[in-house]
Chain A
Amino acid sequence: MARSPKVAESAVDVVIVGSGAAGGMAAYTLTKAGVRCLILEAGRDYDPQAEVNMFAPESDAPLRGTGTPDKPFGYFDATVDGGWQVEGEPYTMTEGSDFRWWRPRMLGGRTNHWGRHVPRFGAYDFKPFSRDGLGVDWPIGYDDVAPFYDRVERMIGVNGGPIGLENHPDSPAGCLMPPPKPRVPEMLITAAAESLGIPVRAAHTAVLTRDMPDKVAPRSACFNATPCTRGCTIGAMFQTTTSLLPMAKATGKLRVVTDAMVSRVVMGARGRAAGVEYVDRKTGQRHQVTARAVVLAAGTGETTRLLLNSGEQGRGLANSSGELGRNLTDSTGASFSAFIPGLAGRPRYNEDGIGGQHIYIPFWLYEQQKRGELDFARGYHFEIGGRFGLPSSAALPRVWGKDLKQAVRNASGATIGLTLRGEMIPNKDTFCEIDPTVKDRFGIPVLRFAFRWSKHEVNQVAHGRRAAHSVFKRLNGTILDPDLPPEQIMTAGGEIIHELGTARMGADPKSSVVDSYGQTWDVDNVVLMDGATFASGPHKNPTLTILALALRASERLATRLSSGALA
């Protein structure tokens, strides 16, 4: 392995590490502002137009497309070169911890196969400490982020409707495309939930329901078929590879180097970063690039690892607060399902719609929570499932022959599911750090995770189960999920793939790693743009907020660059 550092060819203003949601938005915003950017992406080059097999039936795939350790979310899933494990790039856990770390290694990162549910955070979500005395407040409030939400929704294409509930801000007119009509199981859940005082609303989903013309990267409205997790060659679902990245490239200001695994931030004079060092994943060769500013957008875990592996040995870079690696959160997760006899044998129709749910259940208990009537702080929501297709085996009786065929016909389209996603409050037992002994195949020290749910999360899931079951019972449903204690039905840490918070923002350099623009307090030309900066991890899926904050941070960085602040 050649170790001599080599300086990259053409000069750049900003080097961006990662090309997913955060890196894609940074590249787009900065290049539009005239800034010369270089993206270093650890994964391989990836072209959804050429590589996605949109229409193949699962029966074309090995094992009918079933997930395996090689392709955990199914054969056709668009995750390249990774998943819960990446070859030669391990991570470790402290004893007693169960943490799953999802990593793709591809251009566009996780936007190529994500779930696309994009709720806005609300006023409470940015000021959780002020509401219940737990965790910390963000240094910004909803009003600071709202204009960026508006722009991001229009930029990436989001469909949805008004929500009109406490802590669930609505988008101003002109931000959202119209939502698709609900399907029968969704309407049925709505009727039952509403009768119990549980609201149901159109979900906000990053899928186009109208064409989005563009000279460089035109995107078409969803044609209501095909599984989105494979990726979308027509660009209807938001992925940076079919939108922000080609648009940024068209400015002529962006260069992308793939298979470039950044190992550390390299420091220069006056306490500023000079650039980064990366390893070519194919050759193992080390390179250095210099830039006026470094944007870290490698995803929460990798961004944190990079900082911990830079600067002072044992302490890391930008860690004068000691908060780097701490405050890790993931969403809580649990799934509930039921067989609904009234849906058995119902009339068939095309239930494909846009990929994923059309409606969802937002958290509705803020008043009770405020009054102290719940045994958990913070909220959860339900994502909704139920469609024609192969019923789960739990919905089939133990029979054979013509009875089994009839049972399958009956149960097809007769099971519904409610999937819980809830907020986790940071706790001192949940964090990541550098493993003192283990290194990856490039010789880069790996992350070690420690993870623990608290009573808040366990009680929250128990509450969610009671709520879900009350909806099922109102529909005379047979509950299919196993009767186990909440601790055993909860997903493992990291499994919901909403890892956040390990380089949190704040108003005070003593207790936070970055300011509200992602700029590290200690090194003013290192800017973090991914979920590492989140001061809390609300139950609402994070990516819309990652995009909004990356847009905000990028515009601020562009201004600083043009004003000569980082000369």
Chain B
Amino acid sequence: MTFTRRTTLQWLATATALSLANRGAAAAAAPQATGAPPPFKVVDWPASIAPMPATKGYGRDPDLTAPKVPWPLTLTKPQRATVDMLGDMILPADAASPGAGTLGVGAFIDEWISAPYPQQQADRAKVIAGLTWLDAQSRVLHGDAFTAATAAQRATLLDVLTVEVPSPAMAQPVAFMDRLRNLFVLGFYSLPEGKADMGYIGDQPTEGPYPGPTPEAQAHFATLLASLKLSMPSSSRA
């Protein structure tokens, strides 16, 4: 995975959606497969997945004032139902925002894995295989598809998919969940509801010179400096 985004614009890379898409896998995938195995027999990772029909991207010169997704969505109904359910588990509803599945982020996952670009196709292989694995594992453990399992059974599965140090047999399932989780985070927090959840304030034209941090933010900064035993930089006193 290369850092394709121009890093002169690196403020973006530490701050926006693009960073997650571009840097996510590098840091979060490739889990160290040395940990303890889960208390059940892990089913085999699917050997292959169905190929995707050939589609077109948006091209090098799309109309930027009327953005459109030109490719069709390709998740099957049951796959989409599983993804939506996973969305509401990975990022559940709470006082601050709705669940990611309910909010429709599953459609974004579908858009992503159906896109004809190399990164998205690699993710498709991971996600489709992962969904297949999840159902197979659920059937072995609970006799039914993941969506039909009880909440507690599903939670147990998600726990083993997010262990800090996976066992060798769990390396691919955990890498799948890493990727899916990161895609949900990207899809969810780039929506207005997700931005509101993070308390994001911005995207508002402000006339005149940039006002800088609020008094509250300044006060927090001063406290932080003191705790780090650093002195106030001269430039910020202006």
Report A's interface with B, CB cutoff 8 A: 44, 50-53, 55-76, 78, 80-83, 87, 114-115, 117, 178, 180-184, 187-188, 190-192, 194-195, 200-202, 209, 221, 223-227, 229-230, 333, 335, 337, 342-343, 346-354, 356-359, 383-394, 396, 398-402, 404-405, 408-409, 412, 415-417, 419, 421, 474-476, 480, 482, 491-492, 496-497, 541
Contacts and interface: CB of A to CB of B under 8 A. Distances in A.
A482 B29 CA distance: 12
B8 A419 contact: yes
A408 B58 CA distance: 31
A248 to B, nearest CB: 25
Nearest to B236: A187
Given A184-B221, A335-B10, A404-B91, A190 B60 contact: no
A498 to B, nearest CB: 10
A200 B67 CA distance: 40
A210 to B, nearest CB: 9
Nearest to B204: A225
B7 A405 contact: no
A402 B8 CA distance: 34
Contact of A225 (B10, B203, B209): B203
B200 A67 contact: no
B90 A67 contact: no
B185 interface: yes
A390 B16 contact: yes
A473 B232 CA distance: 18
Interface in B182-215: 182, 185-187, 189-192, 197-214
A59 B62 CA distance: 16
Contacts of A342: 224, 227-228
Interface string B8-36: 11111111111111111011100100000
B212 A183 contact: yes
Interface stretch (B39-47, B76-84, B114-122, B141-149): B114-122
Which 9 residue pairs spanning A and B have beta carbons closest together?
A115-B8, A181-B212, A394-B27, A389-B15, A387-B15, A223-B205, A393-B24, A190-B233, A385-B11
A475 B54 CA distance: 49
A357 to B, nearest CB: 6
A64 B187 CA distance: 7
Given A353-B210, A396-B182, 18 more contacts: A51-B64, A182-B212, A182-B235, A184-B220, A191-B230, A192-B228, A221-B208, A229-B6, A343-B224, A347-B214, A385-B12, A386-B15, A390-B189, A392-B13, A392-B24, A393-B185, A396-B185, A417-B13
The binding surface of chain A is classed by DSSP as loop
A107 B214 CA distance: 41
B182 A393 contact: yes
Given A412-B200, A491-B3, A190 B185 contact: no
A400 B185 CA distance: 11
14 contacts: A62-B58, A62-B69, A73-B5, A181-B209, A223-B207, A230-B64, A356-B9, A385-B10, A400-B158, A401-B89, A405-B91, A409-B197, A415-B14, A474-B230
Contact of B201 (A348, A394, A474): A348
Contacts of A57: 190, 192, 203
A497 B14 contact: no
